[in-house]
């Protein structure tokens, strides 16, 4: 298996796309003794932001799990990082860029996984049909406008990531099946992208993270379902049969290691700058069949389907309460403050950082002000943004508080 086939197209100093790849929307402070590269700086800025920390309490597949061994969103992000880094190191791509994209790709994921995302999308499009919510776009919104870090002089500022990392985040959608992935040639205003998978990433590294997203979750989702005893013996045999049909030895049984290793090796053997990032036809078909199995027997499991009703109820009611709180900006509502004191306090602290009307502590003076509370749309977006940043546990806690006397 030939190594470093992509070295000539890697996003490194002197490459054709380098200057655009490292461009930032705003100038990021520098120190005279800085030893990190631009992408390493992005990686650590993401690593230390609060949205990354909250991923440890956000759903991957199984809602609000109390089982310590079931995958959460932060583990998934680290799995994607591991898979994509293994691939990029073998292919000769820039693993530092892969690191930053992979750990940042789900920062804007809603609580309760894709059901949380669907519910927020439904709420927003019903209220403002021209708007939509999807987690790739929301992840870009978080790294561009919401997440902040304290600088060396006590001032907070937005993350101000490089173009290549921001691009890889919004273009990471791995749910659409392509025969091969190859980057687009031009830079664009990333905020003009209107839906997931509308465009391929600007870099080969972004393409690697995209396929790694799918490689990382399929095996782990099955492994977690086995641990939770959601699968019947005959269903386990079905997924074993898929593996054996596609050339995996009959003695092997499905698990995370088998799937990840098989897909990584196959991808490295079949990818080239001429053919793109790709799996063999057999392994691509196997991936599609395993994904279909997961949807039928795991993601649509009756226990998960029942919990989805609970999720929609929680998020819808939290949105209504937050709208009531945000509307009290124009007319003070003592009853609102009394009934929802904890949420009222937290949400107003949030608005204090990002709205144009609130007086600010000087340390937040450099943070983008993204809400005009005179605008109905901005107030609604503030509610959507605040919910999308919640962990499962925080959302459940605040919902329970809202119905407790």
Q: What is the pLDDT of residues 254-294, one digit of tens each?
A: 888 889 999 999 999 999 999 999 999 999 999 999 999 99
**Can you give the pLDDT at residue 27?**
85
Note the pLDDT of residue 363.
77
pLDDT for 174: 63
pLDDT digits (tens, 9 = 90+) for 124-141: 999 999 999 999 999 999
Q: How far apart are CA 205 and CA 76, in angstroms?
A: 18
- In degrees rounded to 5, what are phi and psi of residue 160? 55, 60
Structure-block tokens of residue 78: 């680290």
Least confident of 24-38, 160-174, 272-286, 349-363: 349-363
CA angle 56, 60, 63 (to 5 degrees): 90
Specify the range with the lowest mean pLDDT, choosing from 152-161, 289-298, 377-386: 152-161
Residues 6 or more apart whose CB falls under 8 angstroms from that of 11 comprise 17, 18, 21, 93, 94, 97, 164, 203, 204, 205
Nearest-CA neighbor of 215 among 383, 93, 388, 87?
87
pTM of the model: 0.95
* Three-class DSSP category at 202: coil
Regarding beta strands 180-181 and 277-278, do their DSSP bridges make them parallel or antiparallel, or are they unpaired? antiparallel
Quick check: 342 pLDDT over 60? yes
Whole-angstrom distance, CA of residue 346 vs CA of residue 386: 10
Indicate the SS3 state at residue 404: coil
Any idea which residue has 């749309």 for tokens? 377
Greatest mean pLDDT among 8-17, 239-248, 337-346 lies in 8-17
Query: Distance between CA 73 and CA 65 in Å, rounded?
Result: 11
Round the average pLDDT of the chain to a whole number and report it. 92
3-state secondary structure of 158: strand
pLDDT confidence bin for 2, thresholds 50/70/90? confident
HSE-up of residue 291 (Cα within 13 Å, Cβ side): 15
Tell me, what's the pLDDT at 1? 73
What pLDDT is stored for residue 176 in this prediction? 54
Domain boundaries, the chain: 7-107+147-298, 302-402
- The Cα 320–Cα 313 span in angstroms is 11
Predicted pLDDT at 30: 85
Pair of tokens at residue 316: 């819808």
Rounded CA separation 289/242 (Å): 7
**pLDDT at residue 338 in the model:** 81
pLDDT tens string 307-336:
999 999 999 999 999 999 998 877 667 778
For the chain, the 3-state helix, strand and coil shares in percent, each to the nearest 5, are 60, 5, 35
Is the CB of residue 24 less than 8 Å from the CB of residue 161? Answer: yes
pLDDT tens, 54-111?
999 999 999 888 889 999 999 999 999 999 999 999 999 999 999 999 999 999 999 9
**DSSP result, 169-203:** HHT----S--SEE---SS---GGG--STTSS--SS
Task: Give CATH for domain 7-107+147-298.
Answer: 1.10.3210.10
Go through the chain and tell me how many residues it has. 405
Residue 371 has pLDDT above 60, yes or no: yes
**What DSSP designation does 106 have?**
T
Q: Tell me the pLDDT band of 365, cut-offs 50, 70 and 90.
A: confident
Share of the chain above pLDDT 90, in %: 79
pLDDT tens digits for 143-156?
Answer: 999 999 988 878 88
Tell me how far apart the alpha carbons of residues 304 and 60 are, in angstroms, rounded to a whole number: 12
10 Å CB burial of residue 343 (0-12, 13-18, 19+) is: buried
Predicted local confidence at residue 361, as pLDDT: 66
Report the C-alpha gap between 321 and 343 in whole angstroms.
9
Whether residue 85 contacts residue 215, with contact meaning beta carbons closer than 8 Å, is answered with: no
According to the model, what pLDDT value does residue 177 have?
62
């Amino acid at each position: 298996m030939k190594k470093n086939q992509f070295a000539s197209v890697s996003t490194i100093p002197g490459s054709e796309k380098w200057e655009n790849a490292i461009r930032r929307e705003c100038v990021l402070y520098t120190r005279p003794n800085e030893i990190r590269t631009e992408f390493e700086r992005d990686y650590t800025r993401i690593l230390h932001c609060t949205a990354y920390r909250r991923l440890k309490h956000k759903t991957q597949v199984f809602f609000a799990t109390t089982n310590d061994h079931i995958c959460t969103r932060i583990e998934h992000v680290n799995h994607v990082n591991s898979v994509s880094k293994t691939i990029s190191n073998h292919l000769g791509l820039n693993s530092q860029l892969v690191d930053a994209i992979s750990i940042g790709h789900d920062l804007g994921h809603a609580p309760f996984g894709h059901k949380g995302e669907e519910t927020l999308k439904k709420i927003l499009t019903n209220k403002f049909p021209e708007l939509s919510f999807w987690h790739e776009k929301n992840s870009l919104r978080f790294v561009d406008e919401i997440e902040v870090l304290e600088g060396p002089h006590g001032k907070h500022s937005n993350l101000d990531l490089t173009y290549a990392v921001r691009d890889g985040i919004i273009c990471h959608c791995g749910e659409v099946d392509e025969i091969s992935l190859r980057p687009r040639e031009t830079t664009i205003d990333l905020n003009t992208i209107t839906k997931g998978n509308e465009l391929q990433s600007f870099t080969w590294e972004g393409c690697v993270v995209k396929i790694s997203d799918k490689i990382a979750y399929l095996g782990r989702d099955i492994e977690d379902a086995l641990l939770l005893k959601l699968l019947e013996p005959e269903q386990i045999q079905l997924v074993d049969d898929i593996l054996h049909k596609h050339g995996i030895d009959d003695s092997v049984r499905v698990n995370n290691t088998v799937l990840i290793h098989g897909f990584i090796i196959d991808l490295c053997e079949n990818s080239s700058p001429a053919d793109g990032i790709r799996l063999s036809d057999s392994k691509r078909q196997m991936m599609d069949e395993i994904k279909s199995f997961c949807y039928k027997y795991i993601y649509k499991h009756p226990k998960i389907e029942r919990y989805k009703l609970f999720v929609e109820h929680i998020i819808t009611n939290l949105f209504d309460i937050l709208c009531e709180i945000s509307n009290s900006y124009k007319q003070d509502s003592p009853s609102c403050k009394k009934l929802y004191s904890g949420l009222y306090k937290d949400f107003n602290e949030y608005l204090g950082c990002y709205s144009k009307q609130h007086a600010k502590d000087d340390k937040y003076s450099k943070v983008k002000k993204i809400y005009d509370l005179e605008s109905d749309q901005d107030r609604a977006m503030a509610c959507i943004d605040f919910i999308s940043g919640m962990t499962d546990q925080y959302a459940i806690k605040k919902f329970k508080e809202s119905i407790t006397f």
